[in-house]
Amino acid sequence: MNQLEQLKALTTVVADTGNFKQLAQYAPRDATTNPSLILKAVQQPDYAPLLRAVVAAHPDAALDEQVDRVLVRFGCEILCLVPGRVSTEVDARLSFDTGATVARARRLMALYAAEGIAPERVLIKIAATWEGIAAARELERSGIRCNLTLLFAPCQAVACGDAGVRLISPFVGRIYDWYKKQAGAAWDEAAMAGAADPGVRSVRQIYTYYKRHGIATEVMGASFRNVGQILALAGCDLLTISPELLAALQASEAPVTPALDAAAARTADVPRVHYDEAAFRWALNQDAMATDKLAEGIRAFAADADKLDELIRA
């Protein structure tokens, strides 16, 4: 078997793309999208007509509703090609507004329902700010399943678990990027590869904590920079992977071995912790990497949301 097939025997493989025409060749179970991926897709000739068709069908809708309709249209196309779930992201510009995030999530789910999509096939992606986690807690209680994204710090993972979030997406590659940039010329790529990669270590820490304390929230490693990072997390609940790296896995027949062990994690000596709002904000503030990357990620997704707005206006 190639590496992709071997990985699927250990981990649920998810495609990280808005380019749904690529999905069939990799046969992932789920797919994830984000504002940047959707923006990239709608600027391609294959997908530009889809954007125009959605806007033309709802000319009197407010701009934010038109955006949500575009996101749902992409989600519906993806769900025709995968047997599982699609993640659709709430506008990143609402990352610090619990009420607005809840309202936007409910509208996305209503739009999916109008297309005949069952609620269990959709995950609402929300940035893992304190306000975003609070929104997810409320949504989960009403049966709307959430994927908390832009997750870099243990305190974010702990708070998500306590909120009963269905799934989290810790960002391996962006953690790696931060530490590599900080190290500069002193960075030793070989020494910091595999299990030593700081992004990989972060996901393993979260995975162990969840399994040790029986937390049902699924862990989905995300934002990979290379195949080595993916293989170092073989056995994680899920891994969401770009088409480029899916192709690299498919092209190799090198062996894939389990890297995470749920049974071993359940016996780990890891204390249970909890955060109220003040403790959460302090813990996040004390983690320079997480503070930097969370803010940077929200800004980047917000900038792409602005660009998508401009395309729809045009």
Task: Give, in order, the Cα–Cα distances in Å from 132 to each of 105, 149, 171, 282.
Answer: 11, 10, 17, 17
pLDDT of residue 272: 98
User: For this structure, is 307 an active site residue?
Assistant: no
Radius of gyration of the chain (CA): 19
**% of residues, the chain, pLDDT over 90:** 96
pLDDT tens-digit readout, 111-147: 999 999 999 999 999 999 999 999 999 999 999 999 9
Provide the residue ranges of all domains of the chain, joining segments of one domain with +: 3-313
pLDDT tens-digit readout, 178-210: 999 999 999 999 999 999 999 999 999 999 999
Among candidate residues 8, 21, 40, 125, the one labeled active-site is 125
pLDDT tens-digit readout, 50-81: 999 999 999 999 999 999 999 999 999 999 99
pLDDT of residue 111: 98
Q: Which residues pair with 149 in a beta bridge?
A: 127
pLDDT of residue 22: 87
Give the Cα separation of 200 and 246 in Å (integer). Answer: 18
What CATH number should be reported for the domain whose range is 3-313? 3.20.20.70
pTM, rounded to two decimals = 0.96
